[in-house]
Structure 1
Amino acid sequence: GGGSSEANSVSYAELWDKSDSLAAYLLDNAPVGKPVVVYGHKSALMLVSFVAAIKAGLTYSPIDVAYPADRVNDILDQIGKPLVLDLSDCGFTGDEDLTAGVLPEGVVSEIAGLGGRIDPSCWIKDDTPFYLLFTSGSTGRPKGVQMPSRCADAFLRYFSRFFPLREDGVSFNRVPYTFDVSLFDLIPGLAAGYTLYALEAEEESSMKASFEALSRSDMTVWISTPSYVEMCLADPLFNAELLPKLDTFVLCGEVFRNATALKMLERFPGAKVYNTYGPTETQAVSDILIDEQMAHEISPLPVGTMNPEMKAIIRDVDSGEILGCGELGEIYLAGATVSAGYYGRPDLTERVFGEINLDGGLSARCYRTGDKGFVDEEGRLYCLGRLDFQVKINGFRVELGDVEQALTRLPAIKEAVVLPKERDGRVVHLVAHVMLEDSSLEGDLSTAIALKKQLSSIVPEYMIPKKMVFHREFPLNNNGKIDRKALA
């Protein structure tokens, strides 16, 4: 439940009974075989609703209140008249004509308290999707990723290692439910009986309020994007004194930088820091413990060794042939947690999902990630960012991620995002958005010239951004990742 208000918390006994009662209602009243849309941000009743849907054998599909109305309507349109549980404070922004009905929070709460029961034979299983998440899709319409129930089971088998059974387990339920990283503590956290600790909206509004709530949390496991940790690390108060019980960090969703890892290990000397990787379409597939030696010696940091039920295959981007150790190509992921594809979009599904024969002749579902990476001699996977972050300037192929890596190697630069500047459909130059290590420094023309000069000693001329824009902080999107669209 929420950081400070008792009203927004629910015990495991209440979660069980309320979800049973709501499940009995959904079984009788929700459209058969259709996902149930749960509209809200973070509330105890959202969790009750998710569990109720899966107890009724129905898929849950979360929609965040932050989404604009046309995006909400697009999702409703793709699902085709779902029942909507509106758990927001501000009212449902979607078009009610696109739904099978909208139940407001008060009504959902009342149904959950009626004491109905549901038979475990109704529970979700096998190939029925456990959840349907609409990814932000940096271009075009949102795509609905369906995760079959058996994939959620496989994910639990793998990820429960971060949630050892303990009386006092508390995990940071920071990530919005519409982002797949939220499953990192929902699935194994609920299974292990942890307290899932979320911040109230007013606590999210400032770092000071967030820290006050965190200091009351008794948190043991932290789950977030690297960007969110970096934002917290900017304040010297973010350390082991603030969170004395915190012993595990699990980071996912973006490139995790060496400098960030070193800072975390310094501030939280007793904690284990894990880097993990996995697209929405597969859930997390790999993890690795980052220690000081690795953070000093290996750059970029590996994303880890694979979940034993998953396999990473690296293929040549042009020819598709399978590459050997250390060779850079496109990452394909195969095995037990690969999703069933995109809801109602067989065209898109066929493009990136397929079957593959693994050693021993077993067939496995496979997903083509669009990420570039390689596997080293020790079987550790590295992910070097998106293939579509590759641009051509004056005939040269440039990886935006490579330029970002080079910029953050300069001592004065804390964080960098590089974006292409296009004219008439062609990239004419690069723009670097930069946060300086010393926030009291003014980013001006002379700083930009000095930084470009330093950069020229480590990258070729055509990779040097023509323009530098200085920022105090970067905008983050709902998922806690750096918002490239807003920067652009």
Structure 2
Amino acid sequence: MSRFLETFEKRAARCPERRAFFNSRGGEGSSITFGELSALSDNLAAALAEKAPAGKPVVVYGHKSPLMLVSFLAAVKAGLTYAPVDIAYPADRVSDILAQLDRPLVLSLADGPFVGDAALAGEVWDEAEVRAACAVASEADRSRWIADETPFYLLFTSGSTGRPKGVQMPSRCVDAFMDYFSRLFPSREDGVSFNRVPYTFDVSLFDIIGALPFGYTLFSLESEHEQSMRDTFEALRESGMTAWISTPSFAEMCLADPSFNAQLLPRLDAIILCGEVLRNATALKLLDRFPDATLYNTYGPTETQAVTDIVVDCALATDVNPLPVGYLTSSGGARILDLETGEELGAGQVGEICLFGDTVSAGYYGRPDLTEAAFSVVEEGTGLGQRCYKTGDKGYLDEQGRLFCLGRLDFQVKLNGFRVELADVEQALVRLPEVGEAVVLPVERDGKVSHLAAHVRLADGGEGDRETTRALKAALKQLVPEYMVPKKFVYHDEFALNVNGKIDRKALA
């Protein structure tokens, strides 16, 4: 039986009138209490158990709404896997997901029409049908609850290109996540957590799994409030937020405005960042603006969820560059493997990060080829086999057991015969005091990389010119070999973020 569901139901019984979720839109239908979330998901679970195709995931299509949380819980209470699909996905991507799932039931909770090919779904229930099912009182049947190896959720990932692949996360892993994530949220009866990113992105699970079962209220920004920083900040001011969860890029975007500080969010006591490299300069700004909040740097791909964390204080952010992503927990570990031989490397040696332990995914839905390539079983000191995932990330473990992630292995390019790590050039650029943020991309001509282009946001918010470029190139040559210095510099007021809150590299390219 799911310990996550058990913990949530105990909390709902203890504080049924407390808000479990609200969004910045306000008004009717924008919030839900713990008691309502429990009861409505029980009712919908009964309908799903009767009518949803057995053994197939339930697709939940929409964005941020209370009814999406109801649907997630209802699916797992019916013993079914849920697969969130966001309205930001193009129609072709949605249809591809449906095709992979072989005619699943779709709960369409978007304000507009369902964009996927309905012929690829078994049925499509619109919001009215879902609400009607929620309104039929049903007895809770815990014998149906999801458990053990049955996938709890299915997240489709592949970035902005390529065919989406569904990451299957067993119920036992979600229980392990709850144990891990909950450590990051201070125990309090009035906690409010920032549920910003779409449910299709694994960072959204931090507070759903780690905070909600322990009485935290989830707060979400509506898209119309993200159109301007003024509207965003006004919504944040009214939220009463105590725990901030986002990518470093979104935090950096907010930090560009001096009013993003403890006066705006006076109750904030935890800042949890994941999904990208946390720059030292960003960490120091956050510590300066929110001196009473604990800052966590965390790491973990979708295939394992977050498995490491470290508290970043001023001393660490000043003395250690790049920042470590944390220590491994007792439920898992990391091996650093040589890129050529596959042999395990010692402390301080850079290779591919491979994660193993209780939180590793069961693999990709319907893709045994991809699963075999990325997952394996390793034996540890106990003599027991543990599931292992090859992350595709470059990094190392230091003598203290801290893990460092240095970026994606597929961000390596060959330029004029030299192998260049784009992340290395980016790290060098942001060490320059004039640079606020930087993204380095390869420029190809005739099928090969001809030069590098640096996309830069200046620290003072100014507009770069030729003189700025000459000065940055000269300073960069003191940090990296000349062949790693980008030929072209492009200046930006701010970087566009993709739907997951990361810098949109495809848009820059």
1:415-426 matches, within 5 Å, as 415-426=437-448
1:459 aligned residue: 480
**1:78-93 matches, cutoff 5 A:** 78-93=100-115
Residue from 184, 206, 212 that aligns with 1:190? 212
- In the alignment, the residues of structure 2 paired with residue 201 and residue 137 of structure 1 have an alpha-carbon distance, to the nearest angstrom, of 21
| Residue 276 of structure 1: aligned partner | 298
Q: Shift in Å at residue 306 of structure 1?
A: 1.0
- Look up the equivalent residue of 1:233 and give its one-letter code: L
Alpha-carbon separation, structure 1, partners of 2:113 and 2:341: 51
CA distance in 1, matches of 2:331, 2:27: 40
* 1:115 corresponds to 2:137: yes
Letter in 1 for 2:76: I
Other structure's SS at 1:322 match: coil
Runs of 4+ residues over 4 Å off in structure 1 = none
Deviation at 1:14, TM superposition (A): 0.3
For residue 222 of structure 1, report the CA deviation from its aligned partner: 0.6
Question: Counterpart of 1:336?
Answer: 358
Hey, what's the Cα distance between the residues in 2 that align with 1:162 and 1:454? 39
Q: Is the 8 A contact 2:180 2:210 kept in 1?
A: no
Q: Which of 54, 59, 63 matches 1:41?
A: 63
Cα displacement (A) at 1:138: 4.6
Q: 1:404 aligns with which of 410, 422, 426?
A: 426
Measured in 1, the distance between the counterparts of 2:59 and 2:149 equals 19
Instruction: Classify the secondary structure of the residue corresponding to 2:173.
Output: helix
Q: Partner residue of 2:229?
A: 207
Q: Match of 1:260, SS? A: helix
Match of 1:149 among 167, 171, 175: 171
Give SS of 1:216's match: helix
Q: Which residue of 1 aligns with 2:239?
A: 217
**What residue in structure 2 maps to residue 431 of structure 1?**
453
Secondary structure at the residue paired with 1:88? coil
Q: CA deviation at 1:27?
A: 0.3
Unaligned runs of 5+ in 1: none
CA contact (8 A) 1:433 1:470 kept: yes
Q: Deviations over 1:153-176 (max 9, x none)?
A: 111111111234321111001111
CA offsets per residue over residues 206-248 of structure 1, 9 Å max, x none? 2111111111111111100000000111111110011111000
Match runs of 1:6-405 below 5 Å:
6-7=27-28, 8-405=30-427
State the match for 2:489 in structure 1. 468
Q: Distance in 2 between matches of 1:346 and 1:116?
A: 38
Q: Measure, in 1, the Cα distance between the counterparts of 2:441 and 2:25.
A: 40
Gapped runs of 5+ residues in structure 2? 1-21
Mapped contact 1:75–1:142 kept (Cα < 8 A):
yes
**In 1, Cα distance between equivalents of 2:192 and 2:128:** 28
Deviation at 1:4, TM superposition (A): 4.4
% identical equivalent positions: 65
Structure-2 separation of matches of 1:200 and 1:434? 29
The separation in 2 between residues aligned to 1:476 and 1:435, in whole angstroms, is 14
TM-score, length basis structure 2: 0.94
Q: Which amino acid aligns with 2:499?
A: N
1:10 match: secondary structure: strand
SS in 2 for 1:13: helix
Number of matched residues? Answer: 487
Shift of residue 3 of structure 1? 2.0
Letter in 1 for 2:503: I
Cα distance in 2 for residues equivalent to 1:257 and 1:60: 34
Give CA deviations for 1:54-73 in whole Å, capped at 9, x if unaligned: 00000000000011100101
| Equivalent of 1:442 in 456, 460, 463 | 463
Is the 2:240–2:265 contact (alpha carbons within 8 Å) kept by the matching residues of 1?
A: yes
CA deviations 1:66-108 (Å, max 9, x no partner) are 1110010111111111111011001100011000111111211
Report deviation, 1:409. 1.0
Q: Is the 8 A contact 2:394 2:408 kept in 1?
A: yes
1:461 and 1:151 mapped to 2: Cα distance? 46
Counterpart residue type for residue 461 of structure 1: E
Helix, strand or coil: the match of 2:239? Answer: coil
Equivalent residues of 1:163, 1:192 under 8 A apart: no
Where 1:368 maps in the other structure, the secondary structure is strand
Q: What amino acid is aligned across from residue 455 of structure 1 in structure 2? A: L
- 1:484 paired with 2:505, answer yes
Comparing 136-145 with 27-36, which one deviates more in the overlay? 136-145
Quote the Cα distance in structure 1 between the aligned partners of 2:463 and 2:185: 44
